[in-house]
Amino acid sequence: MERSLQIRFGSRFLKKIDLVRQTNQQIAFLTQALGGPMIYKGSDMKKAHARFAIQQQHFNAVAAHLQATLQSLNVPDSLIGKVLQTVEPLAPSIVNTPDHN
């Protein structure tokens, strides 16, 4: 998961950050967002992403990547649907730059 995200975005977003820490934070965030234990201690989504110029196409790519990862782990489609429904409303907090190529 980390490797293919790195390939897709190259050095654009992921050069200066700790991927292991970020992955752990994302797991904690999603666990909590889906009704699991309250273990996410990171900042809110707007603040966490403010220093990156994130376009809607980047958000879509991450959501598609999340979906593909869950599919590859044989997570049932109904549950994958729930995960995607949980992340979709976050787009306005995370996307902060108009789409351009």
Detail the DSSP E strand segments found in the chain. Answer: none
Q: What minimum distance in Å lies between the beta carbon of 66 and ligand HEM?
A: 6
- The answer to whether the beta carbons of residues 10 and 58 sit under 8 Å apart is no
> What residues numbered 11-70 form the site for ligand HEM, per CB under 6 A?
13-14, 17, 22, 25-26, 29, 42-43, 48-49, 52, 54, 58-59, 62-63, 66
* Distance between CA atoms of residues 87 and 90, nearest Å: 5
* Distance between CA atoms of residues 79 and 18, nearest Å: 28
84 lies in the site for ligand HEM, by CB under 6 A: no
Q: How is residue 33 annotated by DSSP?
A: H
Tell me which residues touch ligand HEM (CB under 6 A).
9, 13-14, 17, 22, 25-26, 29, 42-43, 48-49, 52, 54, 58-59, 62-63, 66, 87, 90, 94
